[in-house]
Structures are given as structure tokens and as C-alpha cells.
Structure 1
Amino acid sequence: MTAVRSTFLRAVIAADAAACGAGGAGLAFAAPALAGPLGLSPAFMQPVGLFLLGYAALLGVMAARPVLPGKAVWGLVAFNLLWAAESVGVIVLGWVQPTTLGVALIVGQAAAAAVVAHLQYLVLRRARHAALAAA
């Protein structure tokens, strides 16, 4: 896959970085306060939050690059789809028993991850068509 040069893609990745950073900070540092309203244990939320903070930093670095390797963007698409599926899976499989607010938060962020993956996929598809047209 060729390199992808897209201001829109960089904006999508930057928005994802901001959302992951904000959500990660909340889960990592406010987990005890969120435990009651969300019905999720701090032991579950804090590692997820710390992971999201690291992922947000990676996304921030990627968003700052004018050109992104297509394989890296495909990796983001796959990760976002996996994240969405796992998020719903933890509820469906009963690994967590969140409150209604917790379910809404988990399902909402899963939907957001799926939308981000779709937008990234659309940019990749457009870049592929442009590369084929130029060949």
C-alpha cells in the first residue's frame, strides 16, 4: 500500500487522539469517582485508561505526520474495529456489569471507534483509487 497524504485523515486521527486522551485521563485518574455511576471497578478502568493515554500519544504523533504509511492506517482501522467489538463483547459476555450509564458509555465509545474506522477506511479506499488512476 502506498503512502497516504490526507488532511481529512490527519484530522480524524487527531480527533481520535483527543477523545482517547480525554477518556483515558478520566478512566485512569478518576476511576474511583466513576466506579459508582458507571458500575465498573477501578481495577478495570485504570489499566484501560492508561492504555488509552499511550494510544492517544501514538495517534498524536501520527496525526502530526503529513504522510502516513498505508499499512499503518490499515492497522488503525483494524484496531478500531477490534476495540469496538471487544467493548461490546465485555458486556455481552458478562465480564463487566455496568450501570445503564456505563453501558451507554461503553456502547457509545464502541460506536465512535467503528465510525473512526469507517472514515479511515474511506480515505484508504480513495487513496487506492487515486493510485490506480495515476498508474
Structure 2
Amino acid sequence: MRTVQSSPILKLALLADAVVSGSIAAAQLLFAAPMAGLLGLPKPLLLESGLFLVFYVALLLLMASRGRLWSALVGVVVVGNIGWALACIALALSGAVEPTGWGLAYLALHAFGVLGFAALEWIGLRRSADAAEFRAQTPATR
């Protein structure tokens, strides 16, 4: 499996994604009932997605702390963020829920936010050096 030496942009993008996702997870887990009323989204959806985000944040923090990463794992995070954005848009348009104006804004913010993180993580991955090539360089040429 191909590994890369994480670029500063990739590390920063993973860390920023973790901070934002962690904040959302905390809000949804701690304030699910009031958020459900304000947003017009089901409380179980907020709780379950908040719980998922706790595990996602742990993965992102682990990835951000490593010098080398599997490029495929970063790709999974990028594709996952794109999938999350599409799911937010689909949920808003599906008619399965009746979000309020605030709920639509919340879903739109999620969609645009995760697309932004996906783009930054992809750019960071593209700027990451192949780990084998990085190891072959002398410290003076890095």
C-alpha cells in the first residue's frame, strides 16, 4: 500500500476537520433535543450522527499526528466527506424530514464545510511526498 509523508497542508486540514467535527459532535450530543426543535431534524439523527462524528474525530486526530499515512486512507476521508455533503443535500431535498429554515442552513453549512475539507485534504494529499522517496532524501535535501 502506498504511503505518503504528510504535508503541512494535509496535517492542518485533518486537524481543522477534527476540531470542527468535534464541535458539531459535542453540540449534537449535548443539545440534541433543543437542536431538533430548532432545526426540524429528528433527535435520533442528531444523536447518531454526533456519535459517528466522535469516532471520526478520533480517526482524524490519529491521522494528523502521524508523519506517514496510507494515501488510500486519506482518499477514504476525502470520499467520505463528499458522501456526507451529498447526504446532507439529499436529506434536505428528500421530503423525509421537514427542516426549518435553520435546519436547511445547518445542512447547507455541513455540505459546504465538508466539501471544503475534502478539497483541502485532497490538496494536502497531492502535496505530500511519497514516503519511500522522502526516506531516500538526505536531511539536507528535504
Asked if TM exceeds 0.5, the reply is yes
Gaps of 5+ in 2: 134-142
Does structure 2 retain, via aligned residues, the 8 Å contact 1:17–1:60? Answer: yes
Aligned-partner Cα distance in 2 for 1:50–1:66? 27
Aligned-pair identity (%):
33
Q: Greater CA radius of gyration, 1 or 2?
A: 2
Q: Given residue 124 of structure 2, which amino acid in structure 1 is its aligned partner? A: V
Query: 36-45 vs 70-79, which deviates more?
Result: 36-45
Counterpart of 2:116 in structure 1 is 115
More helix by share: 1
How many equivalent pairs are there?
A: 131
Aligned-partner Cα distance in 2 for 1:127–1:52? 26
Q: Establish whether residue 85 from structure 1 lines up as the match of residue 92 from structure 2.
A: no
Report runs of 4+ in structure 1 exceeding 3 Å deviation.
Answer: 126-129
3-state DSSP of counterpart to 1:49 = helix
Gaps of 5+ in 1: none
3-state DSSP of counterpart to 1:87 = helix
Q: Which has the higher contact order (CA 8 A, sep 6+)?
A: 2
3-state DSSP of counterpart to 1:16 = helix
How far 1:90 sits from its partner (Å)?
0.7
Counterpart of 1:57 in structure 2 is 58
Length-normalised TM-score, structure 2: 0.84
Counterparts in 2 of 1:121 and 1:78: CA distance versus 1, 3 Å: same
Aligned-partner Cα distance in 2 for 1:86–1:114? 12
Counterparts in 2 of 1:3 and 1:32: CA distance versus 1, 3 Å: same
Deviations 1:38-97, CA, capped at 9 Å, x for gaps: 111212211111111111111111111122211111111110111110111111112221
